[in-house]
Amino acid sequence: MHPKNIRRLFWLLVVMLPFTSIGQHKNDIVATLDGETKQIRIKQNFTYVNDSNKGLTTIYFNDWNHAYSNKNTALAKRFAEEFNRSLHLAKERERGRTTIMTIVDNNYSGLEWERVENRDIIKVTLNEVLKPGEFVQLFLTYTIKLPSAKFTGYGHTFESGYNLKDWYLTPAVFDGDWKLYDNKNLDDLYTNVSETRINFTYPELLSLASNFRMSNTSRYDGGQHVQLIGNKRKSCEIIITYDKRFTKHITTSFTVTTDIESSKYGEIAQGISISRIADFLNENLGAYPHGNLLVSEFDYNKSPLYGISQLPSFIRPYEEQFQFEMKFLKTAVRSYIKETLYLDPRKERWVNDAIGYYLMIKYVDEFYPNQKLTGKLSRWWLLKNFHFAQMDFNEQYTLFSMLSARKNIDQALTTPNDSLIKFNEKIANGYKAGLGMSYLSAYLGEKKLDSTVLDFYQTYKQQPLVTATDFRTTLEKYADKEVAWFFDEYVATDDKIDYKIKRIQKTEDSITFVLKNKQGTKVPISLFGLQNDTVVSHYWFTGIDSTKTFTIPRNGEERLVLNYDQKIPEFNQRDNWKTLNGFFSSNKKLKFQFFKDTEDPYYNQIFYVPIVNFNLYDGVTPGMRFYNKTFLERNFLYDIAPAYSFLEHTMVGKASFRYRKYHQKTGLYMTNYSISASTSHFQDNSRFSTLTPAINFAWRPEDLLSNRRQNLMFRYRNVFRNIDENIADQIDTDPDYGVLNARFTDVDNNILNYSSWYVDAQHSSDFSKIAFEWEYRKLFQSNRQLNLRFYAGKFLRNNTNSDYFSFALDRPTDYMFDLNYLGRSESSGLYSQQIIIAEGGFKSKLANPFANDWIATTNASTNIWRWIEAYGDLGFIKNKGEDTRFVYDSGIRLNLVTDYFELYFPVYSNLGWEIGQDDYGQRIRFIVTLSPRTLIGLFTRKWF
């Protein structure tokens, strides 16, 4: 039958539907995909049932496809928070939008509708009050223009395929209040359950897969038609490709449609693995009600197994079977739960995560109990001595969740998705939720927890308005111990768990010890007694407010270890054990280890790694760095890096000692105490050394997603210089000096509207000065960027006789040795052309560039085309006994990577037309950053 006839028949049946009360929303859609315009024309008949106890005059619909329509949607703002400009800079043809033609009710009366501000929400005003238990039919006619899939993966792909999710209008949830959520690329659409039928027409030569049941497929000249059926479903997902990549696997539990495969793992073996996973899910959750489960490579890429499993295939550490099964399991269990448990996915996603990750942990424990986190790499001679290489696969959940806690950015599991830092949203919170279930399993017993999961799933699957309270009620039904701590402290707070064994007394038949709760979080703690690394006793202790004394019978224990099986995500495990063999035997051994590693609680670890630095006077300086920083942050850090200068034939290097104290999440959240020292050369045979004690206070706002930070620093920089006698007469200041420095900095690192400012005060025996800097970058709606910077400085007292401490227009002397000059004393040649935007910020080398009284400058630039910009600087400088001078310059800036790699080509300044002068090549300036740590920050900033 031709699609036009199908649509006529469909609408005839719709009109003939009996208008009687029904118990569930019904959603009938006729949709036609136009391959040329990337649009879908939709006619939708939605039967909305008021299952609340309130009369409704308005109904809200989710319109998440419209999130791509402009630069001010919630999605665009979310991208900006994560330093992603793709949606802001998108061309109009790449955007998506929804164009609504008409909305009428079952009386064919037009309904008023409006888009709620600039949100992904449509408000429909009814002509009559919809009373409880009654229903209304809405006929909606609209067109959606699909976005490019380059933004979130959804929309039309470069290969002319389509990934469709949350693409048509769905009703928002009303539970007494409307749950109106915008699309923020979190895959957490919250919509009502409905009976859905979609008659979908799409171009020929394409292959379609869906999470809905497919029926009545047909082909006609130029196109294809399929009916997609979902009973008690949320929304329909469709993946359309040119190649027929999806295969069906019929297992004893349900049918799987998947395109996940492994070229090095045979098809038959893949089928066996899929059947094993299907049986595992069926056994631990219960029957899947929809028959067909869509498990796609696309879904996996949206939520992959983060960490070592993402290494390139040529160094993939796992056996092919394990790699395939974990990839399939991660995707399958996520889809399985999402398609059947309908909790609020934005505010109570932790329940789904808890069950899903617990099942993943359980699967590995059951089928791969000896699997190492690094897989085959753990047997490599270069890696096998690393503690990281000896970690079990399931220990990654503790490692990654603790990474967030140690950085003091962990957030409660009850935190809504759109308030989570990206690292927590993608990784840490899900891992913590799964660990919490393993914690409960160890505490209550595996059977009780497994019964809880099975009962909860079978009772609440496909039920609307399921809540975390239902999960708590189910758990309390099976638990024979108090579990309120799990919900009230582990789930609802970000409080840390940390215990230690404080004292031990032993007799022939008993052991008495004191347990200290270091954080005050009242949760159970496990204690193991070990003899030759064999567990001989195991206990659980509860009710420890601060300290508590316990006595256990002696059973041959040589060591007592808290949380030995690491089922508890404990903040610090380095003080979890005590030996019964005397004081000296309890001292941890010293372990020197190449490169950084994870924490080994049984050793004091010292890491070492070769380093190479460079500057003009020392040349290439190879050295060795010794430090104690592990993958997890710790309070006290030391970093000692001696190196050898080949040009000066002497030792150089640096060292630092730091103690960081976190106070809370927001406000004054951190205090940093440090002392650092360095030594290097600033001229041939001329050395400088610094010694700097410092204290820093840091603040951040209530919204942890904000990139704004404030910092107050106090330091005393001691500088010591040994000067070659051949240039001693060129040094017109005392070789040794000290400067007391205080600086307050306020930075809002936003990719669309960057702003920062600081006030800096310095005092020494010869001068006192104060300076102010303000910087602003604005990316406009037109995609034009404006960069502004203002700097002003004033000497309050200046008893010096040189310009060494003076303000500079273009190249400060850097008497504090803060700036990473490759050749800090050069006045000509390539190294003198390096520029670091500080003080005056000028790019042209003007005559008499120093000011010993005051300075005020403004720097500006704007883009001409992409990363090519025009810049201009102007300002005033004042020296004692001289008139104020007006200075300016201008030119072209190649802003390749802002603050990391830039080129400046002067054009016109106080010197005239520089571009036409003979020595123009020496006037070109450059910014270059060689620090790997700084460059890595470009890629990690969006996660934290």
Q: What CATH number is attached to the domain comprising 29?
A: 2.60.40.1730
Pairing of strands 547-553, 559-562: unpaired
124 & 268 share domain: no
Cα–Cα nearest to 808, from 840, 785, 842 = 840
Q: Is 681 strand, coil or helix?
A: strand
Longest dimension (CA), the chain: 104
Residue indicated by tokens 């007006």: 886
* 533 CB neighbour count, 10 Å cutoff: 8
- What are 800's two structure tokens? 């010096």
> What total number of domains does the chain contain?
4
Q: Is 715 strand, coil or helix?
A: strand
**pLDDT beneath 50: ranges in the chain:** 1-21, 584-585
372 & 441 share domain: yes
Helices 446-460 + 267-285 axis angle, to 10: 90
Report d(CA 9, CA 303) in Å as an integer: 41
Q: What is the pLDDT of residue 826?
A: 86
Structural domain contains residue 669? no
φ/ψ of 125, rounded to 5, equals -95, 125
Q: Which of these three, 445, 465, 491, is where a domain ends? A: 491
Structural domain contains residue 860? no
Q: What is the pLDDT of residue 6?
A: 46
Structural domain contains residue 487? yes
- What are 49's two structure tokens? 């049932």
254 & 241 share domain: no
Structural domain contains residue 214? yes
- What are 549's two structure tokens? 């004394």
DSSP string, 611-636: EEEEETTTEEEEEEEEE---SS--SE
Report d(CA 503, CA 512) in Å as an integer: 8
Contacts 24+ apart (CB under 8 A), 35-41: 35/160, 35/202, 35/203, 35/206, 37/145, 38/145, 38/146, 38/155, 38/156, 39/143, 39/144, 39/145, 39/146, 40/143, 40/144, 40/146, 40/167, 40/168, 41/143
Report d(CA 599, CA 608) in Å as an integer: 15
437 & 307 share domain: no
332 & 356 share domain: no
Domain that holds residue 542: 506-553+560-587
What CA dihedral angle connects 498, 502, 506 and 512, to 10 degrees? Answer: -60
190 & 95 share domain: yes
Q: Which of these three, 245, 261, 284, is where a domain ends? A: 245
Report d(CA 56, CA 191) in Å as an integer: 17
Residue indicated by tokens 């059926």: 229
The helix or strand, by DSSP H or E, that contains position 387, with its residue range, turns out to be: helix 387-390
355 & 449 share domain: yes
330 & 467 share domain: no
184 & 263 share domain: no
Q: What is the pLDDT of residue 122?
A: 97
241 & 257 share domain: no
Pairing of strands 25-34, 247-250: unpaired
Q: What is the pLDDT of residue 11?
A: 40
Report d(CA 40, CA 31) in Å as an integer: 6
Helices 320-338 + 267-285 axis angle, to 10: 40
Q: Which of these three, 245, 277, 304, is where a domain ends? A: 245
HSE-up of 57 (CA within 13 Å, CB side)?
A: 0
652: left (phi over 0), alpha (psi -120 to 50) or beta: beta
273 & 412 share domain: no
* 208 CB neighbour count, 10 Å cutoff: 20
Cα–Cα nearest to 525, from 507, 545, 509, 505 = 545
Structural domain contains residue 662? no
Structural domain contains residue 764? no
Instruction: Return all residues near 18 (Cβ < 8 A) that are at least 6 apart.
Output: none
389 & 437 share domain: yes
Q: What is the pLDDT of residue 23?
A: 62
Q: Indicate if the alpha-carbon torsion angle 833, 837, 838, 840 is positive or negative.
A: positive
Structural domain contains residue 713? no
Contact status, residue 750 vs residue 779, Cβ threshold 8 Å: no
- Total count of residues recorded for the chain: 944
Contacts 24+ apart (CB under 8 A), 371-376: 371/318, 371/322, 373/307, 373/308, 374/308, 374/317, 375/308, 375/316, 375/317, 375/318, 375/319, 375/322, 376/317, 376/318, 376/319
The C-alpha R_g of the chain, in whole angstroms, comes to: 33
* Amino acid at site 395: E
Instruction: Return all residues near 905 (Cβ < 8 A) that are at least 6 apart.
Output: 891, 892, 893, 894, 915, 924
Structural domain contains residue 833? no
Q: What is the pLDDT of residue 767?
A: 97
What's the Cα-to-Cα distance from 871 to each of 316, 431, 673, 756, 778, rounded to whole Å? 48, 48, 40, 19, 15
Q: What is the pLDDT of residue 936?
A: 63
